[in-house]
Amino acid sequence: MTKRFLTFRRCGSLWAPSLVAALLTGCGAGQPANTPQAALPASNTQAVAPRVQTPQPAAAMPPPAVTSSARVQWRYQCPSPKGGEWLVATYHGQSPETATALTLQRGESQTQFNRARLPGNPVFLANDERNDYRWLLEANGSGSLRVRAPNRTAVETPVLTGCQPVQS
């Protein structure tokens, strides 16, 4: 007597029994396999249960809040270190690590920062017209930001923590 073993293949988010069944149900043509498992003879054959894939923990960076063909925006809302209105930091690029620009907005006013040196430099530069400072904004993927003027000490540097992703 011969034994038959049923193999499973992943088809999208589902498991399909055997490659032939997957092809017959349209998997591979953009359609998930939804057919029931093929009936097995009762003699010495056992069904093989599909492997359940556990979900992976969420990445540090959320999905982009706004998507367009020209740019992707990653937006964070941070409590202001001095209280009052929240600050919204928006990265412009495929990811915060590769973004070429960052906008920091408080209420109606906003400042555009450009990355100092590409690629991957955490420092963004902008001119603050009111104080004539060349502000540095250091950002990392965890959503914490540090804004400072080069001629100030680190003690005076406000640190923005507790930033949360903003969905638009």
Please write the tens of the pLDDT for every residue from 116-154.
Answer: 766 656 667 665 555 444 455 555 555 556 665 555 554
Identify whether 25 is part of a domain: yes
Identify whether 55 is part of a domain: no
Mean pLDDT, all residues of the chain:
59
* Mean pLDDT, residues 25-44 taken together: 47
pLDDT at 54: 54
pLDDT at 70: 42
Element (H, E) at 3: none
Same domain, 72 and 42: no
Same domain, 138 and 79: yes
Same domain, 46 and 73: no
Same domain, 122 and 78: yes
Same domain, 149 and 120: yes
Same domain, 39 and 111: no
The answer to whether residue 72 scores a pLDDT higher than 50 is yes
Residue that wins the pLDDT comparison between 106 and 144: 106
Identify whether 61 is part of a domain: no
Same domain, 40 and 74: no
Confidence of residue 82 (pLDDT cuts 50, 70, 90): low
Highest mean pLDDT: which of 41-45, 93-97, 144-148? 93-97
Structure tokens belonging to residue 51 = 């492997």
Same domain, 87 and 119: yes
Same domain, 35 and 103: no
Same domain, 33 and 114: no
Identify whether 58 is part of a domain: no
- Percentage of residues in the chain with pLDDT exceeding 90? 0
The pTM for the full model equals 0.41
Same domain, 84 and 141: yes
The answer to whether residue 10 scores a pLDDT higher than 60 is no
Q: Where are the beta strands (DSSP E) in the chain?
A: 8-11, 14-17, 66-67, 72-78, 87-92, 101-106, 109-115, 123-128, 133-139, 145-148, 159-160, 164-165
The total domain count for the chain is 2
Structural domain boundaries, residue 1? 1-50
Same domain, 24 and 82: no
User: What distance in Å separates the CA atoms of residue 74 and residue 165, rounded to the nearest whole number?
Assistant: 8
Confidence of residue 15 (pLDDT cuts 50, 70, 90): low
Residue that wins the pLDDT comparison between 128 and 34: 128
